[in-house]
Amino acid sequence: MTVASKETPRERYRAQVRAEIKERAWEQIAAAGAPGLSLNAIAKQMGMSGPALYRYFASRDELITELIRDAYRSLADTIHTAAASDADLAGLGRALRTWALDDPQRYFLIYGTPVPGYHAPDDITMIASEIMDALLDAAQPAAGPATTAVEETPLESHLAGHRQWAGDHPASPAALRLALHFWTRLHGALSLELAGHFTGMGFDPVELYEDELRRLAR
């Protein structure tokens, strides 16, 4: 038995228009970057007046927030799916790369140069923390059991008292260090690859990425 949608025709129309506005916004971002995003230009493309479009997104920042929220949610869902299939840190890293290469502009919107004057709301920070929690979960067994027989590295000693970025996750200092190295090194390699900085260097970026994964696993 099919359950009838509770949305009214007006609500469905509004959702369709908002979706089209976001599609046009991604096209603009691909052409000129997020700082060049213009609601008036989108309105013109869609045959609408500026005031009419502002009924769907009240400001440029509201539209950017929606795009960033969608991007983080998509990545969080990708990481959750990989983790649910028992992916280890390397598996999560491969899922991250596949997601990034699938839509580089989406990747750069959340991990590229910040949009001047824009500040993300708290709910986006919470979605981002879901991703880090999944990495910390995978880093904990990879880092090995905590033991006093192994002296902490200087970074682990530092992170033991500077772990705000990990929220309430009970990860050991060793797991914190591993997750942080994972996050920074893989994003570094991805950002360079997606920005085209490896072009013409004569090597396969996936081999560099896989080497980073192997080194992190050790």
What does the alpha-carbon distance between residue 214 and residue 218 come to, in Å, rounded to a whole number?
6
pLDDT digits (tens, 9 = 90+) for 80-94: 999 999 999 999 999
With cut-offs at 50, 70 and 90, classify the pLDDT of residue 78: very high
What does the alpha-carbon distance between residue 71 and residue 58 come to, in Å, rounded to a whole number?
20
The CA–CA distances, whole Å, from 179 to 39, 121, 157, 165 equal: 38, 24, 15, 11
Residue 32's pLDDT is: 85
pTM, two decimals, is: 0.88
**Residue 183 identity:** W
For tokens 């596949």, name the residue.
98
pLDDT digits (tens, 9 = 90+) for 115-138: 877 888 889 989 999 999 999 999
Phi-psi category of 196—alpha, beta or left, where left has phi over 0 and alpha has psi -120 to 50?
left
Taking a C-beta distance cutoff of 8 angstroms, is the pair 69, 109 a contact? Answer: no
Range with the largest mean pLDDT of 50-54, 58-62, 115-119, 193-197: 193-197
